[in-house]
């Protein structure tokens, strides 16, 4: 939850070229890349996640 609280305080700017009319979207001034996640599985087993080697930013972030 600490990371969620940090992300909600990140400075953002409006995305002006979002393709859907009437939808307001903001993006972070500096891209925010999550490089580590820990999960509590509560005894369940899940397959290994697919890992992305190079972060791919959305087109409207560039």
What are the C-alpha distances in Å from 2 to residues 9, 28, 40?
11, 18, 16
Look at residue 35 in the predicted model and tell me its pLDDT: 80
Domain count, the chain: 1
Residue 61 has a pLDDT of 65
CA-to-CA dists, residue 37 to 46, 50, 62, angstroms: 15, 13, 25
pLDDT of residue 1: 83
Mean pLDDT of the region 45-56: 82
**Mean pLDDT value of segment 46-59:** 79
What range defines the domain where residue 61 resides? Answer: 1-62
The conformational region for residue 42 under phi > 0 = left, psi -120 to 50 = alpha, else beta, is: left
Render pLDDT for 10-44 as a digit per residue (tens, 0 to 9): 999 998 888 888 889 999 999 888 888 888 899 99
Task: Name the pTM for this structure.
Answer: 0.52
């Amino acid at each position: 939850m600490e990371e969620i609280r940090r992300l909600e305080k990140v400075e953002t700017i409006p995305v002006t070229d979002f393709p859907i009319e009437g939808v307001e979207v903001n993006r972070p001034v500096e891209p925010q890349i999550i490089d580590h996640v820990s999960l509590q599985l509560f005894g369940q087993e899940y397959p290994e996640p697919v890992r992305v080697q190079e972060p791919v930013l959305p087109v409207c972030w560039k």
